[in-house]
Amino acid sequence: MKKSIVRRESGLSEMGLSNSIHPVLNRVYAARGVRKPVDIARELAGLIPASKLKGMDKAVEVLVSAMQQQKRILIVGDFDVDGATSSALAVLALRKMGAQHVSFLVPNRFEFGYGLTPEIVEVAESHSVEGAPELLITVDNGISSIEGVSRAKDKGWEVLVTDHHLAGECLPNADAIVNPNQEGCDFPSKSLAGVGVIFYVMTALRTQLQSLNWFEQQNIEMPNMAHFLDLVALGTVADVVPLDSNNRILVHHGLRRIRAGFCRPGIKALIEVSQRKLNRLVASDLGFSLGPRLNAAGRLDDMARGIECLLTENEWQAKELALELDSLNGDRKKIEESMRQSAMESLENMSLDEVQLPFGVCLFDESWHQGVVGIVASRIKDRYNRPVVAFALASDESENAEGGEIKGSARSVAGFHLKDALDSICKRYPQLMKKFGGHAMAAGMSIDKGQFQLFAKAFDEEVRSKLDEADLIGEIKSDGELEETDLSLSLAEELRDAGPWGQTFPEPLFDGEFQLIQQRIVGQKHLKLVLGMGNENRIIDAIAFNVDLDLWPSKAEKARIAYRLDINEFRDRQSVQLMVEHLEPLI
Query: Which residues have C-beta within 8 Å of that of residue 153, sequence separation ≥ 6?
Result: 159, 173
**Each residue of 224-262: pLDDT tens digit?**
999 999 999 999 999 989 999 999 999 999 999 999 999
**Smallest Cα–Cα separation from 511: which of 544, 549, 478?**
478
Q: Is 406 in contact with 389 (CB distance < 8 Å)?
A: no
Indicate whether 215 and 353 sit together in one domain: no
Q: What is the helix (H) or strand (E) element at residue 249, kind and residue range?
A: helix 245-259
Q: Is 40 in contact with 29 (CB distance < 8 Å)?
A: yes
Indicate whether 467 and 481 sit together in one domain: no
Opening angle at CA 292, ends 102 and 448, nearest 5: 85
Confidence of residue 354 (pLDDT cuts 50, 70, 90): low
- Between helices 245-259 and 194-211, what is the axis angle to 10°? 80
**What pLDDT score was predicted for residue 17?**
57
Indicate whether 287 and 357 sit together in one domain: no
Query: How does strand 474-478 pair with strand 3-7?
Result: parallel
CATH of the domain at 358: 3.10.310.30
**Smallest Cα–Cα separation from 530: which of 574, 466, 577, 468?**
577
Helix (H, G, I), strand (E, B) or coil at 349: helix
CA-to-CA distance for 296 and 294, rounded, in angstroms? 5
CATH of the domain at 318: 3.90.1640.30
Q: Is 179 in contact with 172 (CB distance < 8 Å)?
A: no
Helix (H, G, I), strand (E, B) or coil at 580: strand
Give the domain-ending residue among 296, 326, 356. 326
In a domain, 39, yes or no: no
Indicate whether 452 and 500 sit together in one domain: no
Q: Which of 94-108, 169-183, 531-545 has the lowest mean pLDDT?
A: 531-545
In a domain, 448, yes or no: yes
In a domain, 37, yes or no: no
Q: What is the tally of structural domains in the chain?
A: 3
**Each residue of 151-163: pLDDT tens digit?**
999 999 999 999 9
Indicate whether 251 and 384 sit together in one domain: no
Q: Domain containing 419: what range?
A: 346-472
Q: Is 317 in contact with 91 (CB distance < 8 Å)?
A: no
Query: Which residues have C-beta within 8 Å of that of residue 223, sequence separation ≥ 6?
Result: 93, 96, 97, 206
**Each residue of 397-433: pLDDT tens digit?**
544 445 689 999 999 998 999 999 999 999 999 999 9
Indicate whether 485 and 501 sit together in one domain: yes
Q: 126-145 as b/e, with b when 16 or more CB fall inside 10 Å?
A: ebbeeebbbbbbbbbbbbbb
**Each residue of 510-552: pLDDT tens digit?**
999 999 999 999 988 899 999 998 766 789 999 999 898 888 9
In a domain, 331, yes or no: no
**Smallest Cα–Cα separation from 543: which of 496, 575, 501, 581?**
581
Query: How does strand 102-105 pair with strand 405-411?
Result: unpaired
**What pLDDT score was predicted for residue 38?**
85
In a domain, 10, yes or no: no
What is the mean predicted confidence (pLDDT) over 115-126? 91
The reported pTM is 0.91
Question: Over pLDDT 70: what percentage of the chain?
Answer: 95
CA-to-CA distance for 96 and 231, rounded, in angstroms? 15
Q: How many angstroms separate the first and last alpha carbons of the chain?
A: 19
What is the mean predicted confidence (pLDDT) over 13-35? 79
Q: What is the helix (H) or strand (E) element at residue 136, kind and residue range?
A: strand 135-139
Question: Over pLDDT 90: what percentage of the chain?
Answer: 78
Indicate whether 100 and 161 sit together in one domain: yes
In a domain, 15, yes or no: no
Residue 459 pLDDT > 80: yes
Indicate whether 154 and 168 sit together in one domain: yes
Residue 192 pLDDT > 50: yes
510: left (phi over 0), alpha (psi -120 to 50) or beta: beta
Cα dihedral across residues 495, 498, 503, 506: positive or negative: negative
CATH of the domain at 537: 2.40.50.460
Indicate whether 230 and 298 sit together in one domain: yes
Query: Which residues have C-beta within 8 Å of that of residue 331, sequence separation ≥ 6?
Result: 296, 300
Q: Where are the alpha helices (DSSP H) in 350-392?
A: 373-384
Indicate whether 86 and 224 sit together in one domain: yes
Residue 499 pLDDT > 80: yes
Indicate whether 291 and 351 sit together in one domain: no
What is the mean predicted confidence (pLDDT) over 74-86? 95
Provide the 8-state DSSP code for 286: I
**What pLDDT score was predicted for residue 355?**
59
CA-to-CA distance for 376 and 438, rounded, in angstroms? 17
**What pLDDT score was predicted for residue 400?**
44
Mean pLDDT of the chain: 92
CA-to-CA distance for 378 and 229, rounded, in angstroms? 28
Query: Which residues have C-beta within 8 Å of that of residue 262, sequence separation ≥ 6?
Result: 227, 230
Indicate whether 576 and 484 sit together in one domain: yes
**Each residue of 562-585: pLDDT tens digit?**
999 999 888 778 999 999 999 999
CA-to-CA distance for 29 and 8, rounded, in angstroms? 11
In a domain, 531, yes or no: yes
Give the domain-ending residue among 472, 506, 529. 472
Q: Is 64 in contact with 205 (CB distance < 8 Å)?
A: yes
In a domain, 21, yes or no: no
Query: Which residue type sits at 430?
Result: P
Query: Which residues have C-beta within 8 Å of that of residue 333, sequence separation ≥ 6?
Result: none
What is the mean predicted confidence (pLDDT) over 276-293? 95
Give the domain-ending residue among 298, 326, 354. 326
